[in-house]
Amino acid sequence: MKNRPHDPNLDTIPAMGFFTLMALLLASVAGAFSAVLLLPAAIPGLTGSLLGPEPKVYWYLARSSAWVAYLLLWLSMIFGLLITGKISRVWPGGPAAVDVHQFVSLLGIAFALFHGLVLTGDRYIGFSVVQVLVPFSNPLYRPFWVGIGQIGFYTLALVGLSYYVRRSLTPRVWRLIHYLSFLTFLLVLVHGVTSGSDSAQPWAIGIYWITGGSVWFLTVYRVVSALVDRMMRSPRQTARV
């Protein structure tokens, strides 16, 4: 029987408990709606900035949380690509890479959820909750590119939540779901470049190049390494026969 390299992601326990994740997501929802509904009443001095003719606070909250969510997704991709490669044996170690990969992925879901919901407080654009949650339902601001980001959020959530039903999935289905991570990263990257109000800034361009380039490099490295390992194993198997 052919021996295959063991994938530590196949039998790992989720790095974050399910109820902890639910509490985190509820906190994101509560935080977003608290900012939208309670903050102006609680701090009247901010009313002009929050509800004035050109409110910017909610947009700043949305942009900052978007960057945090994107960088968490990037870290998840980096550590996910390290898991089955030889690099993780040097740093940070296989189990540590698995835990970080899962934890930052789940944390990214919470920040992405906050990013979308807090936009309902922005009076300049005027997103509704439905327009935030339903892809391509927003006619107000770059609907196609925003919709791309919304799909990216749902694929991110699908991959993250799959950790909790791992034992119910076959290895093939598990891997197919996790291949969505590459699509997710691409969708979110495109969404950020095309929808972000600061995407033309030099620092933002630099972040996109560094993050996108590093994911591309590690992906190519992983594919090439797998092909080389397969080629090296084949002559040995042939010789044994």
Q: pLDDT digit string (tens) for 55-73?
A: 577 888 888 999 999 999 9
The backbone region for 16, taken as left when phi is positive above 0, alpha when psi lies in -120 to 50, beta otherwise, is beta
Query: Residue 41: what pLDDT?
Result: 58
Query: Residue 150: what pLDDT?
Result: 95
Of 200, 194, 208, 212, the C-alpha closest to 147 is: 194
Is residue 190 in a domain? yes
Could you give the 3-state DSSP secondary structure of residue 17?
A: coil
Is residue 237 in a domain? no
Which carries the bigger pLDDT value, residue 79 or residue 10?
79
Query: Is the pLDDT reported for residue 84 higher than 80?
Result: no
Query: Is the pLDDT reported for residue 129 higher than 70?
Result: yes
Q: How many CB atoms lie within 10 A of CB 62?
A: 24
Instruction: Provide mean pLDDT across the span 207-235.
Output: 86
Q: pLDDT digit string (tens) for 17-33?
A: 888 888 888 988 988 88
Is residue 67 in a domain? yes
Query: Residue 236: what pLDDT?
Result: 54
Q: What total number of domains does the chain contain?
A: 1
Query: Residue 119: what pLDDT?
Result: 87
Query: Residue 107: what pLDDT?
Result: 93
Domain carrying residue 143: 18-226
| pLDDT confidence tier of residue 87, bands split at 50, 70 and 90 | low
Query: Residue 148: what pLDDT?
Result: 96
Is residue 13 in a domain? no
Is residue 66 in a domain? yes
Query: Residue 98: what pLDDT?
Result: 81
Q: How many CB atoms lie within 10 A of CB 35?
A: 19
Is residue 231 in a domain? no
What rounded mean pLDDT belongs to the chain? 81
Is residue 87 in a domain? yes
Burial 164-198, CB ≥16 within 10 A → b, else e: eebeeeeeeebeebbebbeebbebbbebbeebbee
Lowest mean pLDDT among 25-39, 48-62, 105-119, 206-220: 48-62
Residue listed under structure tokens 């979110």? 188
Is residue 232 in a domain? no
Instruction: Provide mean pLDDT across the span 179-187.
Output: 94
